């Protein structure tokens, strides 16, 4: 068996190799380029559009909303440090019998083990918010990714005596496709959000009226609500917020029920 090499064959082969190379490079760029999670709201109390669809994220075991279109809310808090408000937040959640998700950074386990234990004892889910809160899209290898994840698991187990539930939130919502794959490879669900507001600026806290108005105008079916435990405003409005949402017919679900 033999083939005749012609200029046309060489040309076609070169084109094929070039196309394959372009596709390969495009895939690598898609996997490694970073995005910052963002939302666009079109009208009041309707689900927003994210910079990825629920279906796209689901390929990587990631979520930003519950798509069942039921009047459910998944309440989550990001916890980077203790500003003096978390215990009060826990008191309010206990009053309403609501179980939230707390995504905690590594140093918080060191400085506030009693509060972490209280969260656990009262039935809240504690998620992984990385060891040092870096830009996770810059983790160049799977081993680098795990170095931000595994220390948090170890600290959680030391405090609670249990293995950590596998929920992960990338710091500042910065991620790339490889991060999502790495998290899934570690057994994690990546949890973004479908509603948040600017509540993290310690010296520029929003008024109660602005915070309540923003949240209540944007809340929607299947909402994953992100609040920061470092916000004085959040602590002060939480009881009223939860009461209003309950009176409006919303049910608070846990992350364990997301996607089921």
The pLDDT of residue 19: 31
The residue extents of the domains of the chain are 56-257
Average pLDDT for 44-62: 97
> The tokens of 165 are what?
């539930």
Q: How far apart are CA 226 and CA 93, in angstroms?
A: 15
Average pLDDT for 148-173: 98
**DSSP character for 47?**
P
Closest CA to 145 of 91, 89, 183: 183
> Which stretches within the chain are classed as H helix?
7-32, 54-58, 86-96, 106-111, 113-121, 142-160, 177-185, 208-218, 232-247
Average pLDDT for 100-120: 98
The pLDDT of residue 33: 66
Q: What are the angstrom distances between the C-alpha of 172 and each of 13, 58, 59, 175, 193?
A: 45, 20, 21, 9, 11
How many beta carbons lie within 10 A of that of residue 50, not counting itself?
A: 18
The β-bridge partners of 214 are: none
How many beta carbons lie within 10 A of that of residue 206, not counting itself?
A: 19
Q: State the architecture of 56-257 in CATH terms.
A: Alpha-Beta Barrel (3.20)
pLDDT at 20 over 80: no
What is the C-alpha end-to-end distance of the chain, expressed in Å?
57
Residue range 28-52, pLDDT digits in tens: 334 446 789 999 999 999 999 999 9
As annotated, the active-site residues are 78, 228
Percent of the chain with pLDDT strictly greater than 70 = 87
């Amino acid at each position: 068996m033999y083939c005749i090499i012609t200029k046309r064959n060489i040309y076609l082969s070169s084109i094929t190799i070039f196309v394959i190379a372009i596709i390969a490079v495009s895939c690598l760029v898609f996997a490694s380029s970073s995005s910052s999670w963002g939302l666009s709201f079109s009208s009041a109390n309707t689900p927003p559009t994210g910079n990825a669809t629920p279906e796209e994220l689901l390929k990587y075991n990631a979520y930003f909303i519950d798509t069942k279109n039921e009047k459910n809310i998944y309440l989550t808090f990001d916890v980077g440090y203790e500003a003096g408000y978390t215990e009060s937040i826990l008191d309010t959640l206990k009053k309403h019998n609501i179980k939230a998700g707390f995504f905690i950074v590594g140093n918080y386990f060191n400085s506030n083990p009693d509060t972490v234990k209280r969260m656990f004892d009262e039935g809240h889910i504690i998620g992984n918010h990385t060891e040092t809160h870096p830009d996770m899209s810059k983790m160049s290898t799977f081993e680098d990714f795990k170095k931000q994840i595994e220390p948090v698991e170890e600290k959680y187990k030391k405090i609670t005596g249990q293995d950590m539930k596998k929920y992960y939130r990338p710091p500042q919502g910065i991620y790339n496709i490889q991060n999502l794959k790495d998290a899934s490879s570690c057994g994690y669900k990546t949890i973004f959000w479908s509603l948040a507001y600017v509540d993290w600026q310690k010296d520029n806290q929003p008024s109660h009226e602005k915070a309540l108005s923003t949240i209540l105008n944007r809340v929607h079916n299947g909402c994953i609500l992100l609040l920061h435990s470092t916000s004085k405003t959040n602590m002060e409005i939480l009881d009223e917020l939860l009461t209003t949402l309950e009176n409006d017919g919303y049910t608070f679900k846990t992350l364990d029920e997301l996607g089921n």
